[in-house]
Amino acid sequence: MRARTRLAVGAAGALTTVGLLTACGAAGSSGTEAPEQAASGAGCDPVAGDELVVLDDDKKLQDTDNVIPAVNADVATPQLVAALDKVSAALDTPKLIQLNKAVDVDRKTPAVAAADFATANDLTAGIAKGPGGRIVVGAGNFSESQTLAELYKITLIEAGYQVTVQQIGSRELYEPALEKGEIQVVPEYTATMAEFLNTKENGQNAQPVSSPDLDKTVAALKIAGDRAGLVFGAPSAAQDQNAFAVTRAFADTYAVRTLSDLAEKCSGQATVLAGPPECPQRPKCQAGLVQVYDFKAGSFSSLDAGGPQTKNALKTGAASVGLVFSSDGALAAG
């Protein structure tokens, strides 16, 4: 589904969510763990199952990464920003999951999925006309970004603009194009973009400006945007974050619904954590689980970042808990 850089670190069977959706990101190989994260106790053996559930990040390990429109300041008229904010107002995480399912599971094009969503949610109602002109909406090289760009296109056309969508690639390519005005609008993510601009200006070791508090993250993002010639619209309720998942059978067997539950009941030798190779040392992944929750897995299985390998390991009983993405279309119930 995606190929994009997250703050921390793209199957068969329905997946549903338990509570709020969360995030992760550190190195290791199958059956290994960071020495300081050695586990004691029995732990929780993996339990195979076709349905996955996402555990609630009840202590807020992850920063907020809500979808937000980014705009070149030269074209950011009140009417243009208001049209983009219509998309933000209509989106939440369950709806974003359904949009991704339409494209990644049901194989609709991003344009068709966006048009269906716009009709179902009366997206163009009440949009005021702007000054018009040509607008290029950039999109990242993953389907969610392309679908969001198509939603922006729909509202901007209603506002009187001539709009095209252009797939640019990674943030390292499209953000400079946005600053230069080569593209005028792009769908972004609050915490990820805040840290991208922060490290771009202040270096890779800059003190983080994002947090689990959305208002604080957006405030920091807008300050950085002002210096870069960028304007940000309203954040949506939809988040695309990393998340820790288990099978429904695992959750029921061990009565686990939150990451605190996982830490309390499943720290120990039998518990297998699956994720990308960089997970064990990352502060938003295994290292963060140790620091924030005192969760200590018995072993780590180096697989992929929210991809088919990790999901398959959970479903086949090779892993107890694994990294997925909170807006993955596979999370759609039914």
pLDDT of amino acid 19: 38
Contact yes or no for 53/18 (Cβ under 8 A)? yes
Confidence of residue 332 (pLDDT cuts 50, 70, 90): confident
- What the chain holds in terms of domains, given with CATH numbers, is 35-61+241-331 (3.40.190.120), 67-232 (3.10.105.10)
**Is the separation of the CB atoms in 193 and 209 below 8 Å?**
no
> For residues 257 and 17, what is the distance between their CA atoms, to the nearest angstrom?
10
Mean pLDDT of 258-265: 98
Residue-wise pLDDT for 202-256, tens only, equals 999 999 999 999 999 999 999 999 999 999 999 999 999 888 999 999 999 999 9
* Alpha-carbon gap, residue 238 to 91, rounded angstroms: 6
Asked if residues 301 and 271 have their Cβ atoms less than 8 Å apart, the reply is: no
Q: Tell whether the model's pLDDT for residue 7 goes beyond 80.
A: no
What's the Cα-to-Cα distance from 233 to each of 4, 69, 217, 238, 246, rounded to whole Å?
Answer: 22, 5, 13, 14, 35
Rounded to two decimals, the pTM is: 0.83
pLDDT tens-digit profile of 153-193?
A: 999 999 999 999 999 988 999 999 999 999 999 999 999 99
Identify the pLDDT of residue 36. Answer: 45
Give the residues across from 249 on adjacent strands.
none
Q: Give the number of other Cβ atoms within 10 Å of residue 92's Cβ.
A: 14
Distance of CA 85 to the CA centre of its chain: 19
Q: Is 101 a residue whose pLDDT tops 70? A: yes
Position of tokens 């993510």?
189
Q: Are 254 and 260 in contact (CB under 8 A)?
A: no
Q: Using alpha carbons, select from 176, 231, 229 the residue that is nearest to residue 200.
A: 176
